[in-house]
Amino acid sequence: MAHVKIFDTTLRDGEQSPGVNLNLPEKLEIAKQLERLGVDVMEAGFPASSQGDFESVREIANTIRSCSVTGLARAVKSDIDTAYEALKDGADPRIHVFIATSPIHMEYKLLKTQVQVIEKAVEMVTYAKTKFDKIEWSAEDASRSDWDFLTQIIEKVIDAGATVINLPDTVGYTTPQEYGRMFKYIKENVPNIEKADLSAHCHDDLGMALANSIAAVENGATQIEGTINGIGERAGNAALEELAVALKIREDVYEGRTGLVLKEIKRTSDLVSKLTGMHVPRNKAVVGQNAFAHESGIHQDGVLKNAQTYEIITPEMVGVQSNNLVMGKHSGKHAFKDKLQNLGYELSEEKLLEAFTEFKKLTDRKKEVTDDDLFTILTEIQTQTVDVKKYELSGFQVEYGSAQVPTATVQLTKPDGTEIEESAEGQGAVEALFNTLDSMIEEDVHITDFQLNSIGSGRDALAQSHVKLTVDGTEFNGRGSSQDVLEAAVKAFLNAVNRGFYYQAPVQAQGVSS
């Protein structure tokens, strides 16, 4: 059974999803979970794009020890130098250098001829080899490139030191048959191709990212790149959880398997969804809420008699627990700590106490505490930062009824300790609250999206709110959770606003899509 390496780019290509901006603690939490999931390579970001991205890549490289951490770089010496400074202390550092190879990109974006592109690629791979033992080289927009030209440039960059050759379907243009034939052609026509891994990186613009990735495996690819939940630029990337399960379930056909720890899939999916604010559709393959639900009477009857009649994937395979009720109001700190360790969390004593306090508050209001509830508490504790707060919620109240205009009153505390209070009306309770908050915030704030979901089920379920808004023209997303849906909405609003002051938005460099 051939091993298919997994290159996860959730923290780079995934974070380029519109409206997603992760802070350092959030990126670290995702990185640690990706390590538990068992990815082979983790693309932590694009170090040269901003100081914030540089620091995140450096911190992740210094933290992760059981998989290789890489960073993206254009075919520019300064990008390579910056990536080296961020990655040099990692356990297994590597660099990911790319340059466009399609006619349209070379003519209109790079303004270079084929000969010039080859020269630049070889020069930069040669330079990168002086700093890194492992170099991935990507032919941006490979699926729209001339195959004979690809064979020429690939042979030369391998001679220059490239150890991985990536052939991306950058704009999601190709089909499985075309993509597979391209890999087969490269395998058969590049004389030194055995010296490098062949990698596939597919986008989902036509809904074929997963099928194209599998076609690459069938035709010689030894590494697949993608993201958790398929997030990414435009329509996203190949969903790694779907790829891993597909190769596992149909190993009789594909004869390849990843090294991912499948039971960590659901937890990883939930974490990425929560921190990015990009919710998983109910009917999403493998991790969607309906993935193991059966409503049809015929289906229910069959599953009760033999689950394999309508279930080819067991919930337990991907870490979905049928009963996760484990903690209650009488649970002590020791039992709580043991549970956190079972969930994969490592907290300092200070954060453990904070998490336990929040847990006890929840048990006073909620009879049944589930793993989902604990997951929410722990995620908030682990990813909070001291320096991202400008406005603190002191309190609020809303007056509304079927025969009156909703009116909200909010009390906020400024960083200098000054208390402010304002009131405003709205067509509904949430709008009244947001109008009030807007009148209290000094910066120019405009809401672009608002979502509200329940965590778990039941009338006492926690509410999870996500808000996307612009602060002085720059978009940020925020989240908040509470048993009260209005409080969750207020927390999410303030969380997004506060990010606007302390989050350093990355400067998107030319051609970062691969």
Quick one: pLDDT at residue 338?
Answer: 83
Quick one: pLDDT at residue 441?
Answer: 92
Quick one: pLDDT at residue 294?
Answer: 46
Those residues whose C-beta lies under 8 Å from the C-beta of residue 470, and which sit 6 or more positions away, are 444, 445, 446, 448, 476
* Nearest CA among 220, 221, 215 for reference residue 177: 215
The answer on 355 and 265 residing in a single domain is: no
- Environment class of residue 109 by beta-carbon count within 10 Å: exposed (0-12), middle (13-18) or buried (19+)? middle
Quick one: pLDDT at residue 507?
Answer: 39
- Environment class of residue 491 by beta-carbon count within 10 Å: exposed (0-12), middle (13-18) or buried (19+)? buried
- Which tokens is 247 given? 């190769």
The answer on 260 and 150 residing in a single domain is: yes
Residue 286 maps to a domain: no
What CATH code is carried by the domain that includes residue 106?
3.20.20.70
What is the DSSP pairing of strand 164-169 with strand 474-482?
unpaired
The answer on 373 and 231 residing in a single domain is: no
Could you give the CA distance from residue 236 to residue 247 in angstroms, rounded to a whole number? 20
Could you give the CA distance from residue 423 to residue 439 in angstroms, rounded to a whole number? 9
Residue 509 maps to a domain: no
The answer on 461 and 424 residing in a single domain is: yes
Quick one: pLDDT at residue 254?
Answer: 92
Residue 370 maps to a domain: yes
How far are the Cα atoms of 102, 278, 295, 360, 468 from residue 19, in angstroms, in the given order?
Answer: 29, 9, 35, 34, 7
What CATH code is carried by the domain that includes residue 467?
3.30.160.270
Q: DSSP character for 173?
A: -
Residue 45 maps to a domain: yes
Quick one: pLDDT at residue 304?
Answer: 53
Quick one: pLDDT at residue 346?
Answer: 79
The answer on 300 and 351 residing in a single domain is: no
The answer on 249 and 331 residing in a single domain is: no
Q: Which domain holds residue 63?
A: 5-276
The answer on 71 and 182 residing in a single domain is: yes
Query: Where are any strands of DSSP class E within 335-484?
Result: 369-370, 392-401, 404-413, 419-425, 445-455, 462-471, 474-482
The answer on 148 and 47 residing in a single domain is: yes
pLDDT in tens, 341-356: 777 777 888 888 988 9
Show the low-confidence residues of the chain (pLDDT under 70). 293-310, 322-326, 385-389, 502-514
Quick one: pLDDT at residue 509?
Answer: 42
Residue 132 maps to a domain: yes
Residue 215 maps to a domain: yes
Q: At what angle do helices 51-63 and 77-87 cross, to 10 degrees?
A: 40
CB 463 within 8 A of CB 454: yes
The answer on 142 and 41 residing in a single domain is: yes
Instruction: Decide which of 361, 383, 405 is a domain's last residue.
Output: 383
The answer on 391 and 371 residing in a single domain is: no
Instruction: Decide which of 383, 414, 431 is a domain's last residue.
Output: 383
- Which tokens is 144 given? 């729209």
Show the CA angle centred on residue 421, arms to residues 415 and 423, nearest 5°.
Answer: 140
The answer on 27 and 14 residing in a single domain is: yes
Quick one: pLDDT at residue 68?
Answer: 98
Helices and strands counted in the chain (H then E)? 17, 18
Q: At what angle do helices 349-365 and 371-383 cross, to 10 degrees?
A: 140
Quick one: pLDDT at residue 337?
Answer: 86
The answer on 486 and 455 residing in a single domain is: yes
Look at the chain and report how many structural domains it folds into.
4
Residue 56 maps to a domain: yes
